[in-house]
């Protein structure tokens, strides 16, 4: 026998995708009322210290996952059921941090919440690991080379290995990197994000020559799982380490033929196909 709650969720999700979130019309739908009844059947409370939503049984977890998927966000302001749930009406605190089974967690999905196909894709990550991941991510994305930071130390180490370290050289490289990264990011069109040729998770530096534009969803799902080989990255001139970036800036590493000739689109094609030699031949032919 079909579960009426599953039917209500499915039909309401279909209506939202087809017609959008017209609050007044949606709230009058029977399937909305059924889902609201399910959500209200649980005792929703917030943690007395952190204010995070407490989820303490499997049924509550399932209702939460459905609520987030239907809302397309963990924002309290954007929650589909906000006007009809007491624990949301007068509280703008987000729903992304929760306490589940007694443990702090961060809610996350492997793609945007509005693009999920199953409520079970709403995941609960260990908060401590999540916070550590954010900290590590902030460090690797530091293109300004904050004093004492991981990237700053990498640059200084590379300069010393080349025998060129001076405070003046460091500042010169730092300022160049800030300008070049910000100039590149400013050219990225809406709907795209800055992907890494060599992912930060695998040591790729935050330099303009290690960035390329890609669709936001592709970057989010790909992350560091599909990095190109070091051979390919070296051939097209991508900065796969801070040492390489420093060496190129100060003329200690010669640019490859592909790096000299490639446009950004050539670089993107080479990264996407893995066949840089064919892309290079096409570029050389176009210049004849």
* Tens digit of each residue's pLDDT (9 = 90 or more) over 261-284: 998 889 888 988 889 999 999 999
Neighbours of 30 (CB within 10 A): 10
- Extract the tokens encoding 154: 């990498």
Rounded distance, CA 176 to CA 172, Å?
6
Decide if pLDDT at 1 tops 50: no
Put simply, whether the predicted model's pTM sits higher than 0.75 gets the answer no
Q: What is the DSSP letter of 201?
A: G
* pLDDT tens per residue across span 164-183: 999 999 999 999 999 999 99
Rounded distance, CA 84 to CA 32, Å?
11
Residues with Cβ within 8 Å of 123's Cβ and at least 6 positions away in sequence, in order, are 107, 108, 109, 110
Rounded distance, CA 200 to CA 151, Å?
11
How many percent of the chain have pLDDT more than 70?
89
Task: Report the interhelical angle of 242-249 vs 150-162 (nearest 10°).
Answer: 50
Q: What is the DSSP letter of 253?
A: S
Among 207, 192, 276, residue whose Cα is nearest residue 241:
207
Rounded distance, CA 173 to CA 186, Å?
20
Strand partners, 108: 123
Rounded distance, CA 44 to CA 258, Å?
59
Residue 130: pLDDT band with limits 50, 70, 90: low
* pLDDT tens per residue across span 7-44: 899 999 988 888 776 767 888 899 999 999 999 999 99
Task: Report the interhelical angle of 127-140 vs 150-162 (nearest 10°).
Answer: 40
Decide if pLDDT at 95 tops 80: yes
């Amino acid at each position: 026998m079909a579960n009426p709650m599953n039917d209500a969720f499915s039909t309401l999700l279909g209506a939202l995708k087809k017609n959008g979130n017209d609050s007044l019309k949606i709230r009058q739908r029977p399937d909305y009322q059924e889902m609201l009844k399910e959500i209200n059947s649980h005792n929703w409370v917030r943690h007395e210290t952190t204010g995070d939503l407490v989820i303490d049984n499997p049924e509550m977890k399932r209702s939460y996952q459905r609520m987030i998927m239907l809302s397309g966000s963990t924002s309290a302001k954007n929650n589909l059921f906000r006007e009809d749930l007491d624990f949301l009406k007068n509280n703008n605190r987000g729903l992304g941090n929760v306490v589940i089974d007694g443990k702090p967690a961060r809610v996350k999905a492997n793609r945007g919440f509005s693009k999920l196909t199953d409520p079970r894709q709403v995941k609960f990550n260990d908060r401590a690991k999540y916070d550590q991941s954010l900290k590590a991510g902030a460090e690797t994305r530091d293109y300004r080379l904050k004093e004492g930071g991981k990237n700053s130390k990498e640059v200084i180490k590379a300069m010393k290995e080349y025998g060129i370290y001076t405070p003046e050289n460091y500042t010169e490289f730092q300022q160049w990197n800030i300008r070049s990264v910000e100039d590149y990011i400013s050219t990225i069109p809406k709907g795209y994000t800055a992907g890494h040729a060599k992912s930060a998770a695998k040591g790729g530096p935050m330099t303009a020559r290690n960035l390329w534009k890609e669709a936001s969803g592709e970057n989010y799902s790909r992350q560091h799982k599909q990095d190109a080989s070091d051979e390919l990255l070296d051939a097209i001139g991508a900065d796969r380490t801070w040492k390489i970036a420093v060496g190129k800036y100060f003329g200690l590493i010669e640019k490859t033929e592909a790096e000299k000739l490639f446009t950004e689109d050539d670089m993107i094609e080479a990264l996407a196909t893995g066949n840089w030699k064919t892309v290079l031949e096409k570029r050389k032919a176009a210049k004849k």
